Structure 1
Amino acid sequence: MRISLPAAFVASVLLLDAFLHLFWLVRPAADPRALSLAVLNFETPFTARVLVPLIAMLTVAALSVIAVSLGRGGRLAKAVTLALGGGLLVRAELGLAWAFGLGTDTGTPFYWLNLLLYSPLCVALGFATGAVLMRLSSRRSKHEAEADWCSVRPCCTAARYSNADVQQHASTASVCHLTRRKTSLRGDWLLFASRKSGVRIS
């Protein structure tokens, strides 16, 4: 089983984002305040205590999407993927509000990054994540249908072979009955002939 195109798209973007956070962790930005305002629209320290959990979350989310696409990971991977899709759609809605100038200054770098990159990317990622989950649901429905068919098929096969056996048995019984009938008629003819000729047959 191969990873689907939507899952590959989502996982690639998430891993790229994790790599960017790792890069900021290894090589801190010259102006963390400007970077924070451009990325998040508010000030936050780009320290290990902030970046390491983000890197871990992005990596786990990417691996969960891949696992769900391959039909693995169980309920945990599905729950993480579902939470990821919901979070992306919420972020897209917030980005739409920011695109209309609500809660942000239209002259800041964040406004244009949100309008041209962040929000469209979140919308695309949200729909791609939904496609991964829908494909998982359709695959499960197909497997359940195949399982139901496999559970019914042996009964049908057994019934079919039982009917064939009954027909064969009936045919064999008819042949045996005809054979016995011929033997009986032959015996009656011999007895009749012996009585006429006076010969006794033991």
Structure 2
Amino acid sequence: MAAVGLTGWAYSLSEALLSDPLPRRWAHSLGVAERARSLGPILGRDAELLEAAAVLHDIGYSPAAATTGFHPLDGARFLRDHEQADGRVVRLVAHHSCALLEAEERGLRQELEGEFELEHPELVDALVYCDMTTTPDGTPTTSEERLDEIVRRYGPDTIVGRFIQRAAPEIHAATKRVAARLAQVSAEGQPI
């Protein structure tokens, strides 16, 4: 799949799986993809790959893809088994936003780790940044506000609430690393 073809395919698939059954999830996915496009200056050749993963990251919520109830695993399996998707996109979907910690809460860590390797840390950070600085409605936010919203929505003692609280330090660190890379590239591009 060519890079341009990859993103076009990703948007079409995500829209088909999310827009009707889960319009708010679709809006979030579009917002995450928009954030991914904004990271082009620090991603270089991987910019389109990240955008494709960003728009696809939540397809595991779709009734067409959901099997275990754990959306990173379900989405990655769907992409791998039904779409024969690019392996890097599949790995990013599988491991987006500290998914290993949630997998652990659900008793699925060995499955996730066994089936899907981690992608390059810079890309993992970039997808965390995009997902965790985008509201459920697709608008920009801070990672602090996003995590607070998740805990309020799911409850602090639920699987998702417990996982996101455990993941908070790494999510905040990843968003800071990406913001620092963006600031460095911006500073380097400024005239003297």
Which category of TM-score, normalised to the shorter sequence, fits these structures?
A: 0.3 to 0.5
Flag the structure with higher helix content. 1
| Bigger Cα Rg | 1
Q: TM-score, normalised by structure 2?
A: 0.33
